[in-house]
Amino acid sequence: MNSVDASEHYELGATDLPPSLLTIVIDTNPHAWALLEDSLPLSKAIANILVFINAHLACNYANEVAVVASHTQKAAWLYPSHNAPRNRSDHEGDVVMNGATDTTTPETNKYRPFRLVEEQVTRNLKEIMDSTTADDLRGNMSTMLAGALTLALSHTNRRTLAWAEEHGGANTEDAAAEGNGNGSTATNRYSASNEDERLQSRILVVSVSGSIDAAHQYIPVMNSIFACQRLSIPIDVCKLSGDAVFLQQASDATKGVYMALAEPRGLLQYLMMAFLPDQRSRRHLVLPTRVDVDFRAACFCHRRVVDVGFVCSICLSIFCEPPPGSDCMTCGTHLDIGDNAKPALLPRRKKKKKRVNGASGTGTPMSTPTPGP
Amino acid sequence: MADSDEEYVGDVTEDEDDLQVTRGDNPRAKRKQRGGAEWELSRTWETLVEGADGTINSTVEGLLEAGKRKRLLKDTTPLQRGIIRHLILILDLSQSMSEKDLRPTRYLLTLRYAQEFVREFFEQNPISQLGVLGLRDGLALRVSDMSGNPTEHLTAIQALKTQDPKGLPSLQNGLEMARGALFHTPSHGTREVLFIYGSLLSSDPGDIHQTIDTLISDKIRVGIVGLAAQVAICRELCTRTNGGDETAYGVALNEQHFRELMMDVTTPPAAYSQKESSSSLLMMGFPSRTVESNPSLCACHSKPSRGGYLCSRCNSKVCNLPAECPSCGLTLILSTHLARSYHHLFPLINWVEVPWRRASRSSACFACGLSFPSVPLEDHWQMAENNTKGMSVSSRYECTACRNHFCIDCDLFAHEVVHNCPGCQSKSTPTRSDVANPPSGGMDITV
Amino acid sequence: MASATSRPLEYLEGLPGTTFYKLYQQPSTALAIFRRMLPDLAKCFVMALLYLKDPLPTADLEVWVNSESKKERDNALSILGRLHILSTTLTSENVRAYMVTNPFAASLRQALMGAEDSHSFGVFSQAPEHNLISIADLDEYARRQWEGVMGYMVGTSALSGQRDAVNLSKGVKQLLQAGHLVEIRGNRVDITKDGFGFVLQDVNTQVWHILILYVESAEAIGMDSVEVLSFLFLLSSLELGSSYDKSHMTPNQLRTLTDLADFGIVYQEDPDATRFYPTRLATTLTSDSSALSNPVTGSLTGPAGPSGGAGSGFIIIETNYRLYAYTSSPLQISLISLFTNLKYRFPNLVTGKITRQSVRRAIEMGITADQIISYLLSHAHPQLRKHSAAQSSGKGVPASVLPPTVTDQIRLWQLERDRLRATAGFLFKDFTSLTEYQAPCQYAAEIGVLVWKSDRKRMFFVTRHEQVAAFLRSQKVGGK
């Protein structure tokens, strides 16, 4: 007879769960897609992804979606098209922003939000493809993954803030406190609020390029991954061809799903089965993750993959053997013994300069000087 | 100021401000704290200027924005930093911690922040070691041993919550125990002690000045966050162990400030001179994860588990990284752990405010698409300019490398969380992406 | 949300399988039911199975779900079964397997991918708009109509002259009467117990309640309930602020449209106009109650008039049982006065106190404590919400929006009177052995239908029996 017991503090409002935001990063490197032409051409893949987007939107009235293209030369928004106004005349841009495309005949066999996403994605993608010149492509096998991830994160951040503001969550409180000039650190603002009461965001990377060329983006990509980890945004990776080590690490670090598709033709089914469930449902599901993530590092000197390496204590560069002359090849610091070839940048010098600037500044309440000694 | 209520605290801080002004030293602290002080001292109502529409909305928004922005303008010179740190966190668990001037009590708040500190510390310094001590009844007691595993510290600190603070603290005992714990740490890492100190006294068994001398010779830096008022011996301790730099000692004004002072310590300290920390080449193992069909015991906890990492030298199984191999002593680490520290070494450059003159170039934030206020007529520029320092009149912030404009939220987000510039990363010319994360000399790494 | 979903869900579950078959012909219906009626996990199942060629063996599905989440899995499967979305078949290897039933699967695929001209998502009006209707106008219209209905029920229309603008049609009044929400005695309108419960619900639930009444009564006036129902789902997928063409509609749909206009669910300039506009009441039908964004609830429940759009809630309750309501709407004031002793009234504020007496009075009228609490909760002032959010951010558990002392006390006051609650259902008894009893009992608990059990007497009581019976049968088969 528990149901009659009034002592339970149950809350009706607590069951209202926040919607989720899905950001899809599509690798649009034409080279890589050309290799896939036989099994899964880009157009078909996009069609599949659009159905997947619709399925995501169908799951909840308030679910949101964003699509970023990670192209060879740039990363750009496909949906929503933020930057459109800058490229066009203002008037036209506004029309695009409102999503009211007057030119197309109203097609009503499709749920309207679905149609809006579809139109924008296909149009923007076409624009990108058209603007790609042969020059851009020559010998360029890379993709702007770091940029795409950073854009995706910025958008997520904006939507999370906006959502929290609309719903009077704890986040606004924090933001307001910060405004008062004695702000807390960023972590408080970004991670302190209850996870279930936030906008649930996740990022899906549909990747086709190999990892070799992404090496110069290593630090920015890693930075994005750590940001995701910190904000508990899972990065799901759907790998159609090739294998990218840092995407493996990304999904591993952020507890996302990693799948390398054996059969790219079945993209839609893979998407629906493995990538559609949001964080809340994922708690109940057993999802494919990679167990044997490659964590080995490559040394900076010979690019050998090493099990045991030497790390410079100053700049954390990895070497497979002690570098010649015991000088770090990255920062030039002389390691282990003897004098230093190059002096460290001393913070003291910087301090003196500041003292001059700061002397006339207002007082600080930080230290409480006792008139004593 | 044991029984001080909030008003009283306010008064005290104003006095302190005056003192500080006359002394005129301590520039770093000044820069950091200026906002807080102004908030208390400055006549905020005077900065309110009615906008063209007769409301003060614009000014209030400006102030909010300036507050956000203030913390961003940090130095981005790439300094050598002590990435490998050894830090002992010493918590005051004495009677004075039961004061309620910080809500709910100093004790509980300290424990809560200490847990956040531990989490943040390992977030920022994944290859560092931390230990926690407590000061109670005149003794120093070990809360958790030096280790690189945050969960051990967190549970140990959590366990303290059920106990009550009592007795008097002893700085000297705490320092001696910390010194013992740091004594064996390798010289390439930093040796640091952070006190959270709520008392105004220290009951020591011997001469604390001698302890300070030994600390200096052992190259241990001490930082203190005071909760009550400044104490002379604390200041001396910090000043002397930090080579004359007084900023390691801070007294918390309120809960926010307390947190801020603690979290500042999580950023790796700039390496001073080469003498203090000799750089060296460390041997590290990069194990790969394995999953076995049958559970086996791990070498670190002797618990059966199926997943784990095999030491690359001796093949012992450890269950968590980073760790030191229990059998051969090799430091085991993931390459991602190393990468996590790179943003300290290669910080993102500060973005600059955009005057109206250049504002017309953009109408929306490059990263998130938030639309900016439109550019007013030229005669109104001046009026809007004198609003608040540190904020952009046009609400736009420009990355000097890629020349894109961003909103304040993206500015904050880019500098504090992602450490990437969305603009620079979205354009492919490699020279530009280098500018965003400056000296990338040999940093193009495949992992 | 529990209360909001349950009513349409219950109604749908009561429909025969053939009705579902007809309903699912429309993509918009399939989409709306998918979105609105299913728990998260069930949505995942449907989507995963939707594009599979072959049915998914039950064992595979079980492996897919975490072993700790068995309860959620069974609950999801049970709802899917009840809504005739998922069915079990045998694969060629004679393995039991799940598949999405056909009209539903086809329609949902159509909804996702777009398809031939089914006009399932409405047809835009092509005629030039001479008289633009803004979204604000629509909101205002919806608010006025809906408040008119509420006012009619509570009887405020007699009190204040401002309600004259709303003329309720005879159909509306009949519907309310048919639903036993009001009783008409001579010239006087008396609200019933059900009616009290109704007016205290949040708007989304109210709309559903009315719509289901409408569908139920549709048969009586010679309309096909399936057609009406699928038209309602179609409405829910339309876009706010656009006008739609009426020329494609059947006479029955047109008739429904006129009736719905009386409630403010759709807007048309006059019944003969060639176009109609859905209002926010319609377009948010299939969203969660929380997603029913503030403009409507705010303007509907908040202070009357266009200026009252700020925020969704206006009631502040303190732990000392004092209540402050920032409203000047006679409707809201009379609602609050149902369970509160009002003390003062200011131009935009009324204050009062919740007392034992006032709550008992309300309970005697047939209002339940849960209704009072959910009313207070759904109209809680943003300040209260903010406060609770701030409280909860420190701890893991979300703090309650209303002061717990007040909610508990209201429940206790109700318990003073009300010590019995009837639950309709089925009793399983006379099990021969304890093990035979335990297995179905446990199963019933897992799918969430178990109400009561007694291990000693080997009896248990469930709200619905179909699956338990099926389970028992499968047990028998398995045993042999």
| Residue closest to B15 by CA, chosen among B220, B285, B251, B330 | B251
Amino acid at C418: D
Q: Which residue has the tokens 């986040």?
A: A171
CB contact A186 to B (< 8 Å) = yes
pLDDT number for residue C1? 37
Interface of A with B in 23-62 (CB under 8 A): none
pLDDT number for residue B196? 93
The residue ranking higher by pLDDT, B385 or C81, is: C81
Whether ipTM > 0.90 holds is no
Residues of B in contact with A190 (CB under 8 A): 417
Would you give the DSSP letter of residue A67? E
Facing residue for A292 by CB, picked from B35, B75, B288: B288
d(CA B111, CA B270): 27
Write out the two tokens for A360. Answer: 């006339």
* Residue of chain A minimizing CA distance to C369: A6
Q: What percent of chain C has pLDDT over 90?
A: 3
Rg value, chain C, Cα: 25
CB contact A278 to C (< 8 Å) = yes
**Helix or strand (DSSP H, E) at C110:** helix C102-113
pLDDT band at B335 (very low <50, low <70, confident <90, very high): confident
d(CA A41, CA A53): 18
Span C316-341, mean pLDDT?
87
Neighbours of chain B (3+ CB pairs under 8 A): A
pLDDT band at B174 (very low <50, low <70, confident <90, very high): very high
HSE of C124, CA atoms in CB hemisphere, 13 A: 18
Amino acid at B153: H
Interface of A with B in 276-315 (CB under 8 A): 291-298, 300, 303, 306-315
pLDDT per residue over C140-189, tens digit each?
888 788 878 887 887 765 444 444 445 677 778 888 888 888 887 777 77
Tell me the three state secondary structure of residue A69: strand
Write out the two tokens for B167. Answer: 């007795």
pLDDT number for residue A367? 34
Is a pLDDT exceeding 80 seen at residue C266?
A: yes
The residue ranking higher by pLDDT, C133 or B296, is: B296
Q: Are A366 and B33 an interchain contact pair (Cβ–Cβ within 8 Å)?
A: yes
Do A182 and A215 touch, CB atoms closer than 8 A?
Answer: no
Strand intervals (E) in A246-338? 258-260, 297-298, 305-306, 308-312, 318-319
Burial class (CB in 10 A: 0-12, 13-18, 19+), A204: buried
pLDDT number for residue A176? 36
pLDDT band at B179 (very low <50, low <70, confident <90, very high): very high
Is a pLDDT exceeding 60 seen at residue B433?
A: no
Measure in Å the smallest separation between the Cα of C188 and chain A Cα atoms.
35
Question: Rounded to 5 degrees, what are φ and ψ at C280?
Answer: -65, -30
Mean pLDDT of chain C: 78
Q: Are A365 and B23 an interchain contact pair (Cβ–Cβ within 8 Å)?
A: no
Residues in chain A: 373
* Residue of chain C minimizing CA distance to A52: C112
pLDDT per residue over B121-146, tens digit each?
887 787 788 999 999 999 999 999 88
Strand-by-strand arrangement of the B405-406 sheet: B352-353, B397-398, B405-406
Q: pTM (2 decimals)?
A: 0.73
pLDDT number for residue B143? 92
Pairing of strands A75-79, A200-207: unpaired
pLDDT number for residue B358? 81
The residue ranking higher by pLDDT, C213 or B55, is: C213
Write out the two tokens for C69. Answer: 């989440």
Span C5-26, mean pLDDT?
78
CA of A163: how far to CAs of A156, A158, A166, A172, C171, in Å?
Answer: 10, 8, 5, 10, 41
Measure CA A316 to chain center: 24
pLDDT number for residue C284? 74
pLDDT number for residue B194? 94
Is a pLDDT exceeding 70 seen at residue C394?
A: no
d(CA A142, CA B430): 12
Facing residue for A185 by CB, picked from B263, B307, B364: B263
| Residue closest to B321 by CA, chosen among B290, B278, B361 | B290
Task: Count CB-CB contacts under 10 A for residue C18.
Answer: 10
**Helix or strand (DSSP H, E) at C324:** strand C322-325
d(CA C478, CA C466): 18
* Residue of chain C minimizing CA distance to A17: C290
CA of C281: how far to CAs of A113, C270, C333, C443, in Å?
Answer: 18, 19, 23, 39
Do A193 and A171 touch, CB atoms closer than 8 A?
Answer: yes
For the ranges A186-195, B76-85, B387-396, C217-226, the maximum mean pLDDT occurs at C217-226
pLDDT number for residue A6? 35
Series of mean pLDDT values for 10-residue runs along chain A (373 residues): 37 55 89 84 89 88 87 83 45 36 48 82 88 72 82 90 68 37 37 59 86 65 85 88 77 85 85 87 80 68 74 75 73 55 36 36 34 37
For the ranges A221-230, B1-10, B51-60, the maximum mean pLDDT occurs at A221-230
pLDDT band at B33 (very low <50, low <70, confident <90, very high): very low
Mean pLDDT of chain B: 76
**Helix or strand (DSSP H, E) at B353:** strand B352-353
Q: Which residue has the tokens 């099994």?
A: A39
Q: Are A333 and B446 an interchain contact pair (Cβ–Cβ within 8 Å)?
A: no
Mutate to test the interface with A, among C6, C44, C236, C289 (most CBs of A within 10 A): C44
Residues in chain B: 447
Q: How many CB pairs under 8 A join A and B?
A: 398
The residue ranking higher by pLDDT, A299 or B265, is: B265
pLDDT number for residue C449? 84
Q: Are A16 and C288 an interchain contact pair (Cβ–Cβ within 8 Å)?
A: yes
Q: Of the ranges B154-168, C117-131, C240-254, which one carries the lowest mean pLDDT score?
A: C117-131
Question: Rounded to 5 degrees, what are φ and ψ at B374?
Answer: -75, 160
Write out the two tokens for C70. Answer: 């068995």
Amino acid at C11: Y
Is a pLDDT exceeding 60 seen at residue C469?
A: yes
- What residues pair up with A64 in beta bridges, in sequence order? A21
pLDDT number for residue B71? 52
Is a pLDDT exceeding 80 seen at residue C395?
A: no
| Residue closest to B268 by CA, chosen among B195, B318, B337, B342 | B342
Do A296 and B286 touch, CB atoms closer than 8 A?
Answer: yes
**Helix or strand (DSSP H, E) at C362:** helix C356-364
Q: What percent of chain B has pLDDT over 90?
A: 22
Amino acid at B261: L
Question: Rounded to 5 degrees, what are φ and ψ at C64?
Answer: -65, -30
Facing residue for B36 by CB, picked from A182, A323, A348: A182
Facing residue for A370 by CB, picked from B232, B341, B425: B232
Residues of A in contact with B116 (CB under 8 A): 187
* Residue of chain C minimizing CA distance to A169: C389
Interface of C with A in 33-62 (CB under 8 A): 34-35, 40-41, 43-44, 47-48, 50-52
- What residues pair up with A235 in beta bridges, in sequence order? A203
Q: Are C288 and A17 an interchain contact pair (Cβ–Cβ within 8 Å)?
A: yes
d(CA C244, CA C227): 18
CB contact A17 to C (< 8 Å) = yes
Do A201 and A159 touch, CB atoms closer than 8 A?
Answer: yes
Question: Rounded to 5 degrees, what are φ and ψ at B93?
Answer: -115, 30
Facing residue for B447 by CB, picked from A218, A314, A358: A218
CATH number of C426-479: 3.30.70.2610
d(CA C395, CA C302): 32
* Residue of chain B minimizing CA distance to A361: B30
pLDDT number for residue A17? 66
**CATH 1.10.10, domain C2-113, yes or no:** yes
Domain ranges in chain C are 2-113, 135-283, 313-417, 426-479
Is a pLDDT exceeding 90 seen at residue C139?
A: no
Do B157 and B196 touch, CB atoms closer than 8 A?
Answer: no
Structural domains of chain A sorted by starting position, each given as residue range(s) with its CATH number in brackets: 18-172+188-282 (3.40.50.410), 297-341 (no CATH)
d(CA B266, CA A57): 41
pLDDT band at B210 (very low <50, low <70, confident <90, very high): very high
Measure in Å the smallest separation between the Cα of C420 and chain A Cα atoms.
8
Amino acid at B238: C
pLDDT number for residue B237? 92
pLDDT per residue over C78-112, tens digit each?
888 888 888 888 877 788 888 888 888 888 888 88
Span C376-402, mean pLDDT?
70
Amino acid at C330: P
Cis peptide before B322 (omega within 30 of 0): yes
Angle between helices A42-59 and C102-113 (to 10 degrees): 110
Rg value, chain A, Cα: 25
Amino acid at A32: A
The residue ranking higher by pLDDT, B252 or C14, is: B252
Tell me the three state secondary structure of residue B318: strand
Pairing of strands C341-346, C349-353: antiparallel
Pairing of strands A20-27, A200-207: parallel
Q: Are B413 and A372 an interchain contact pair (Cβ–Cβ within 8 Å)?
A: no
Do B395 and B407 touch, CB atoms closer than 8 A?
Answer: yes
Do B101 and B140 touch, CB atoms closer than 8 A?
Answer: no
pLDDT per residue over B403-422, tens digit each?
888 888 888 888 888 888 88
pLDDT number for residue C283? 76
